[in-house]
């Protein structure tokens, strides 16, 4: 089944190619806000913009024209809650996108609660403790609604134990056995998510994410985390922040025999933007150098805010 899910179409097939570096291995993140505002730039993320229902089709059309056809979406709803999550806005946009582009593109959807909750946390809390049962149930239902809307794949990023298993069970039960899961499987509690949190409106209102994200000094646990999510049923694994996790890619591949990708996170990408803005590096060749390094380290796919430039960079 895993093999079949990874050979659903040409794009996902390319994502798990070991030997070559091809453009489809680059995944472009897109932020979509329900609440339409004029201010759409994201500090630090260069030409990446916050999108709305009104300009999403146009942006993806441009990207497709430029040879980019693999996307991961981050939805930011208008109203936040700690117990009720309505996903009609997301479903509506997903079906609009799929109606327009069909199987021409691959749409992954990030599955998390941090942009939805009043707390800004990736899961639900009961007092100081994570409420696992409700978090898993609610996120699995949300995953199902994304797939019903037209998502081609689900990317659970909350790092909650059990989330991949729970989503897989839910999708299988509703005849979505063919939908792949890309697990954020080794994700550190990092300082490098700053620009993302501004774009996704997802900063925690109390504490930090160390109760569910990993400690960057603990190598063994970081590798084990990917092994666990692999055992839960993930099809694709991931390390994040990518550049800060290069040493983990090979050991994870060896232990799981699954494709491992690297997420070049917002803070890592912003470093290049700021250096280039200050005329300290050439942006294009600097970006390409980081991607080549991910490939050298064994990453099979890369999530990068510059994916839409891949063709321009010669890929």
**Site for ligand PBG, rule CB under 6 A:** 110, 112, 114, 122, 157, 193, 196-197, 209, 265-266
Determine whether 231 is exposed, middle or buried from the number of CB atoms within 10 Å of its CB (0-12, 13-18, 19+).
Answer: exposed
Least Å distance, CB 264 to ligand PBG, is 8
* Residue whose CB is less far from ligand PBG, 52 or 196: 196
Residue 241, preceding peptide bond in cis (omega within 30° of 0): yes
295 noted as active-site residue: no
* Residue whose CB is less far from ligand PBG, 61 or 191: 191
* Residue whose CB is less far from ligand PBG, 101 or 193: 193
Least Å distance, CB 75 to ligand PBG, is 11
Taking a C-beta distance cutoff of 8 angstroms, is the pair 171, 177 a contact? yes
Determine whether 215 is exposed, middle or buried from the number of CB atoms within 10 Å of its CB (0-12, 13-18, 19+).
Answer: exposed
Is beta strand 129-130 parallel, antiparallel or unpaired with respect to 125-126?
antiparallel
Least Å distance, CB 4 to ligand PBG, is 27
Catalytic residue among 37, 240, 257, 312: 240
**Which has the closest alpha carbon to 184: 246, 230, 250, 140?**
230
Least Å distance, CB 95 to ligand PBG, is 23
Taking a C-beta distance cutoff of 8 angstroms, is the pair 66, 57 a contact? no
Residue nearest to ligand PBG (CB): 196
Neighbours of 106 (CB within 10 A): 23
DSSP-derived secondary structure letter, 215: P
* Residue whose CB is less far from ligand PBG, 14 or 117: 117
Least Å distance, CB 100 to ligand PBG, is 25
* Residue whose CB is less far from ligand PBG, 27 or 112: 112
258 noted as active-site residue: no
> b vs e for 27-57, b when ≥16 Cβ sit within 10 Å of the residue's Cβ?
bbbbbbbbeeeeeeebebbbebbbbbeeebb
Catalytic residue among 187, 255, 258, 279: 187
Residues annotated as part of the active site:
187, 240
């Amino acid at each position: 089944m895993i093999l079949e899910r990874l050979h659903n179409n040409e794009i996902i097939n390319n994502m798990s190619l070991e030997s070559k570096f091809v453009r489809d291995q680059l995944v472009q993140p897109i932020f979509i806000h329900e609440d339409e505002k004029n201010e759409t730039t994201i500090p630090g993320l260069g030409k990446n913009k916050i999108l709305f229902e009104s300009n999403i089709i146009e942006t993806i059309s441009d990207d497709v024209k430029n040879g980019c056809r693999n996307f991961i979406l981050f939805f930011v709803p208008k109203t936040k809650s700690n117990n009720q999550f309505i996903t009609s806005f997301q479903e509506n946009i997903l079906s609009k996108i799929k109606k327009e582009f069909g199987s021409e593109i691959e749409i992954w959807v990030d599955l998390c609660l941090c942009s939805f909750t009043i707390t800004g946390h990736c899961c639900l809390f009961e007092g100081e403790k994570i409420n696992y049962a409700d978090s898993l149930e609610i996120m699995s239902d949300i995953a199902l609604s994304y797939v019903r809307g037209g998502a081609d794949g689900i990317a659970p990023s909350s790092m909650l134990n059990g989330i991949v298993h729970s989503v897989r069970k839910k999708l299988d039960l509703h005849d979505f056995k063919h939908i792949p899961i890309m697990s954020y499987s080794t994700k550190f509690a990092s300082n490098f998510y700053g620009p993302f949190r501004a774009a996704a409106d997802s900063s925690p209102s109390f504490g930090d994410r160390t109760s569910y994200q990993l400690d960057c000094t603990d190598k063994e646990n970081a590798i084990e985390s990917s092994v666990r999510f692999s055992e839960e049923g993930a099809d694709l694994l991931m390390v994040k922040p990518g550049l800060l996790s290069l040493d983990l890619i090979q050991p994870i591949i060896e232990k799981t025999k699954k494709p491992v990708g690297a997420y070049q996170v917002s803070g890592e990408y912003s470093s290049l933007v700021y250096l280039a803005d200050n005329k300290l590096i050439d942006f294009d060749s600097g970006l390409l150098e980081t991607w080549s390094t991910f490939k050298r380290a064994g990453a099979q796919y890369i999530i990068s805010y510059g994916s839409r430039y891949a063709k321009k960079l010669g890929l």
